[in-house]
Amino acid sequence: MKRQSFEDLFKLFGISNQLLENDLDRLERELGINLARGHQKTLEKDQVYYPQIEQDIRQDASAMALQYEVFYSLEKSIRRLIAETLDAAKPSGWWASGCVPEKVKTEAEGRMKKEIDSGVTPRSSEPIDFTTFGELGEIIKSNWDIFGGIFNSQKAVERVMTNLNTLRGPIAHCGVLAEDEVVRLQLSVRDWFRLME
């Protein structure tokens, strides 16, 4: 069994806390109580920024903001794990040295150029930040000789990444996750960290 580093345990602690906050928010909503945790939602009833937007849409947004926060944190931590692991293995520049499948590289660089050409502030100067979630899984798979020392099963990584990618759709595109899917997201996040045990 692999021993988790302090950094991995700290990340797991942070995401576990986010999941707990999510559960407490759900309980407050369902039971109509306020646990006075000091947690501020973006669109509280007394804090309406756009009164033209219907209350039910604002409530859905508030509930989904929690799922977005969990997924955002997870996706960013996966990107960091990939970049730091490949930086350590290939310090001469892993992006350009064949560690990234050519199709993934072309797509990410195309997205990066499109964003630069649009005149908006680029989200990043790192090409990995322009990969999709599915492409992150492809980078891990194509470098299994490196990532096999971190994860306990390539098939399990593929399965968990597929589950997370499926859940990502409604979160990223203004959908609402059913309660079962919220639970599935929580379990998938836990599964991700279990892959590194």
State the DSSP H helix or E strand holding residue 143, giving kind and residue range, or none if neither.
none
Confidence grade of residue 3 (pLDDT, cut at 50, 70, 90):
low
Residue 14 structure tokens: 């942070």
CA distance 27 to 21: 10
* pLDDT of the residue at 191: 94
Rounded Cα gap, residues 185 and 195, in angstroms: 15
**Can you tell me whether residue 106 is helix, strand or coil?**
helix
CB-based contacts of 148, cutoff 8 Å, min separation 6: 154
HSE-CB at 42 with a 13 A cutoff on CA atoms is 14
> Tokens 């290939």 correspond to what residue?
90
pLDDT at 39 exceeding the cut of 70: no
Looking at 7-21, 87-101, 172-186, which range is the least confident one?
7-21
Percent of the chain predicted with pLDDT > 70: 91
> What pLDDT, on the 0 to 100 scale, is given for residue 194?
93
> According to the per-residue pLDDT averaged within each range, which of 15-24, 48-57, 94-103 is highest?
94-103
pLDDT of residue 91: 85
- Beta carbons of 141 and 134 less than 8 angstroms apart: no
Mean per-residue pLDDT, 135-151: 95
pTM over 0.85: no
CA–CA gap between residue 31 and residue 28 (Å, rounded):
5
